[in-house]
Amino acid sequence: MSVIGTWLITGGNKGFGLSLTKSLANKGERVFVGIRNYQDKAQFIDYKNVTPLSLDVTDRNSLLWAKKEIEAHGLNYIVNTEVVGHGDNIHTKIHNMNKTDFMRNIEINTWGPINVCSVFKSLLTPITTNNGKTSQPKIININSLAASFTYGIVDLGRSYPISQTALNMVTKLTAHDIPEACVVAIRPGDLDGIGIPYKISDVFRIESQINTPIRHEQLTEEIITMILNISPDITGSFITSNGKIIPW
């Protein structure tokens, strides 16, 4: 683990973003946490090494303001966790998609990580480990199994899977265009018990397991361990939080 790593986490006011922020803070890491609703900053009041930032991943001016707050520290890790599923449900098909909902999914889920990377790339600095060695900074996109063509979630709406599949390409191209960083997409959890094609019943069953306090904590620790130990040879990959490669 780094001596003291500096992290930027987007969407840090809820879900895995919130869990990651608090867990990293408890480990002594320096965390800048982006939150869309700045009133949510109160939940970090007891964490002296957490700096809440009013951050809209779709708004470049918002990101540039946040960059000024961070630039004196540099960044070792960027973790994009903000995600939405606007307008989608199991009845949504290609022929009845709503353009406004579709574009909102793309704007936040796909363009958001591109925008974040574009603004904060210049702040990325190598990670120093306890033995004095250095390793590449890391860019992490938290994604879902909806992004996989192989698993093919055909009954989980349309806008959300499209935006998540596009995020995988963003991950691949970011790894290509920024070779000085290790870049991966991570899907929380394992693939055990999930069939091909992936069915909505699997989604509900797996999510019900994930969304328990104990399992949520376990997955958070898995993700942190995975991030800290990612090797450059898997940059550009889509992986589970325990390191298994997920087929595109």
Q: What is the number of helices (H) and of strands (E) in the chain?
A: 7, 9
E strand map for 101-237: 127-128, 134-135, 138-142, 182-187
The answer to whether residues 74 and 7 touch, using CB atoms and an 8 Å cutoff, is no
Q: How many other CB atoms sit within 10 Å of the CB of residue 203?
A: 18
Output DSSP code: residue 107: I
> Residue 7 and residue 186: Cα distance in Å, rounded?
16
Residue 190: predicted pLDDT: 64
Domain ranges, ordered by start, for the chain: 6-240
Blockwise average pLDDT, block size 10, the chain, 248 residues: 81 90 95 90 92 95 96 96 82 88 95 98 90 89 89 76 95 97 89 59 56 70 91 94 88
Residue 38: predicted pLDDT: 81
The answer to whether residues 75 and 125 touch, using CB atoms and an 8 Å cutoff, is yes
Classify domain 6-240 at the CATH class level.
alpha beta
Task: Enumerate residues 6+ apart whose C-beta is below 8 A from 143.
Answer: 164, 167, 168, 171, 185, 186, 187, 238
Work out whether strand 134-135 and strand 127-128 pair parallel, antiparallel, or are unpaired: antiparallel
Q: Give this prediction's pTM.
A: 0.91
Residue 234: predicted pLDDT: 95
Residue 63: predicted pLDDT: 97
